[in-house]
Structure 1
């Protein structure tokens, strides 16, 4: 396969300086930090939210599902609708929608309104990362595009290390609504930063909803989305049940869970940085390697979970491999989506949220069947193997396409 992602991007009118490119990418990554914080802080504050809106904890869990559904729906729709718009303007519009959704979340008077507001907050998630990835790629030379895109994604990874713990602590001290207000502030700062330091980048004037959504007819796009949904779903099969794995399998107290989550967050940051560098060298081969590594490590997790130190090391390496996979999937979709690159980049986040739902559901099934808390990791390894199957099909199809072109 290609040695670097063959991503054609709409360039800025004049090549920006290195300083301008760095500042612009940092501004875009700040938006990713805000999005990552709001996506995961709800999980840490679920009991507080349940009490605040007079709901049970399982009912409050629907608040998380509503956000994920917003991502799945919003990513393709908003990316297709916004393809013709200037990209900085689109990024700002999506961040405005994000701020509005989180403001409504902080003000929600009851359970129903909170569920609806979380759906609204999730709508711009995927499209923002799509347009931010394209802007970042347009600011650097072709051989650095993988690193530029991974730098935007680094905001999402950093949220798990700093944003989510800080917002969770704030919500516990000042009430769960304060966590969403904190996200609103970060979103507003992002909006100002994007306006100030991100260069103007034109959209695709010839784009239409039909041509954008036409990318979904491309077999390579569909296969890559299946890798993201099924192959990456394996990580969520394990991670969704990390708290009981710590307490029931490793035999540690609930106070040890944050330590494991911190290891996961740090591994995610490392994997995001690594993913960009690997993409610039060999995108497809690196994606295969990351999928293999994720599957193998999930298998190891089923054995190592009983030892606290081994658990931390394994969770760290799973996070690194899986985060590498996220960046590579993003760039692979941008590569195979043709002219609909923003849609391809946005769809990655729809697929990852579908992976979240699939992995958690399958993990819950094996636990309910009495197979214990190690079983979701075995399920995760199996899902990674299925993801490899879709990658193999993609490689075979690519060889046929090259022979046909020759």
Structure 2
């Protein structure tokens, strides 16, 4: 894989740390700002909504921007939003900073995903996507648990400052590692924006985006409220939350790495095998959440299965959007984050039910069931490999 691809993954690591870190900080944020844990959970949805809106909104004008300059600007705006979030005492302002950070993240990913596809041969899009998503999974392994520990020791605001600081070497890497000459957008032969947007009417693309959104909703729904599962259902201390996040992140890294090697040519077996296992795993985790050993084992397994299936489906979005070369990244980003917005909202609604902190796990199982039932009648479109 080309070296610039790993520099993009470094920035994705910083942004992924921010996107996932609230899973271990929600109780402290809620207490500090005087809101409920469920309300604090909407910060995850705010980020996802900003990503959904920002992906196409920013990607469209970014078609004509130099790639290096746009990527650098997005990273710096992202850092600034976290600096404001670190000092505010107002929940609405914190909510707004999450939206701004998400817009910057969306713009970055939309450009980065498109750029990544152009850095490799057409048949290696899945491998390139796996490298970018590895930045996210490493964030769940190291960045998010580290942020959770930092938050437990120094408060949640210290974690926001740490994310802002992480953006600086990422920005330097982009500045030094992405050649300016190559970044200039080539307009010759590029489809018109209207033609690229028209790709969104194609049923195979719509299906791939829908399935990716459903699986990601299941992933984010449970991950956002993993801390209460560890502390309430399992009865463990707060410092065990980073352990659970590390295990989930390690599993996700394994899942995306394995799926990245298969999703280009053999997506069918990935979805056919990992999909049903993912469906079984969420209810199993809900039932066994009170047993720490089973909890931690299943957290690892669900991380692997979630990212194996999810990354495979998002790779299909890039393939199905081949007719939209400058907008495909925004479609993939939107699909990911529709799920990230809907999942925590549905999961939060279950916290007040008899299921309590295990409710999000049951909701995740339901979302995966809907995805598999939707995919089955159209399995040929979903699992078709490259030609």
Give the TM-score taking structure 1 as reference length.
0.82
CA displacement 1:36-74 (0-9 Å, x = unmatched): 11223344334554566x543455444433222211211
Q: Partner residue of 1:403? A: none
Q: Does 1:330 align with 2:314?
A: yes
CA distance in 2 between partners of 1:248 and 1:48 (Å): 15
How big is the shift at 1:227? 0.7
3-state SS of paired residue (2:198): helix
How big is the shift at 1:164? 1.9
Cα gap change, 1:383 to 1:62, in 2 (>3 Å): closer
How big is the shift at 1:253? 4.3
CA displacement 1:152-209 (0-9 Å, x = unmatched): 1111111111112333444455554432232222212212211211242443523544
CA distance in 1 between partners of 2:110 and 2:321 (Å): 12
Q: Partner residue of 2:213? A: 229
Q: Partner residue of 1:145? A: 125
Structure 2, unmatched stretches of 5+, are none
Cα gap change, 1:83 to 1:260, in 2 (>3 Å): same
Q: Does 1:56 align with 2:35?
A: yes
Q: Partner residue of 1:203? A: 185
Does the CA-based 8 Å contact 2:23-2:227 persist in structure 1? no
How big is the shift at 1:375? 5.0
Q: Does 1:377 align with 2:361?
A: yes
Q: Partner residue of 1:289? A: 273
Q: Does 1:128 align with 2:112?
A: no
Match of 2:227 among 235, 239, 243: 243
Match of 1:388 among 357, 365, 372: 372
The count of residues paired between Structure 1 and Structure 2 equals 378
Cα gap change, 1:83 to 1:294, in 2 (>3 Å): farther
Structure 1, unmatched stretches of 5+, are 1-17, 400-406
Q: Does 1:313 align with 2:297?
A: yes
Cα gap change, 1:289 to 1:124, in 2 (>3 Å): farther
Q: Does 1:65 align with 2:49?
A: no
Match of 1:340 among 324, 331, 334: 324
Q: Partner residue of 1:4? A: none
How big is the shift at 1:358? 3.0
Cα gap change, 1:110 to 1:208, in 2 (>3 Å): farther
Q: Partner residue of 1:194? A: 174
Cα gap change, 1:246 to 1:347, in 2 (>3 Å): same
CA distance in 2 between partners of 1:244 and 1:398 (Å): 35
3-state SS of paired residue (2:264): helix
Aligned-residue CA RMSD (Å): 2.9
Report the structure number with the largest CA radius of gyration: 1
How big is the shift at 1:382? 2.8
3-state SS of paired residue (1:123): helix
CA distance in 1 between partners of 2:24 and 2:229 (Å): 17
Does the CA-based 8 Å contact 1:363-1:375 persist in structure 2? yes
Give the TM-score taking structure 2 as reference length.
0.85
3-state SS of paired residue (1:203): coil
How big is the shift at 1:35? 0.4
How big is the shift at 1:387? 0.8
The 10-residue stretch of structure 1 (144-153 or 29-38) with the greater mean CA deviation from structure 2: 144-153
Match of 2:138 among 146, 158, 161: 158
Matches within 5 A, 1:257-296: 257-296=241-280
3-state SS of paired residue (2:65): coil
Cα gap change, 1:284 to 1:89, in 2 (>3 Å): farther
Does the CA-based 8 Å contact 1:27-1:190 persist in structure 2? yes
CA distance in 1 between partners of 2:130 and 2:208 (Å): 18
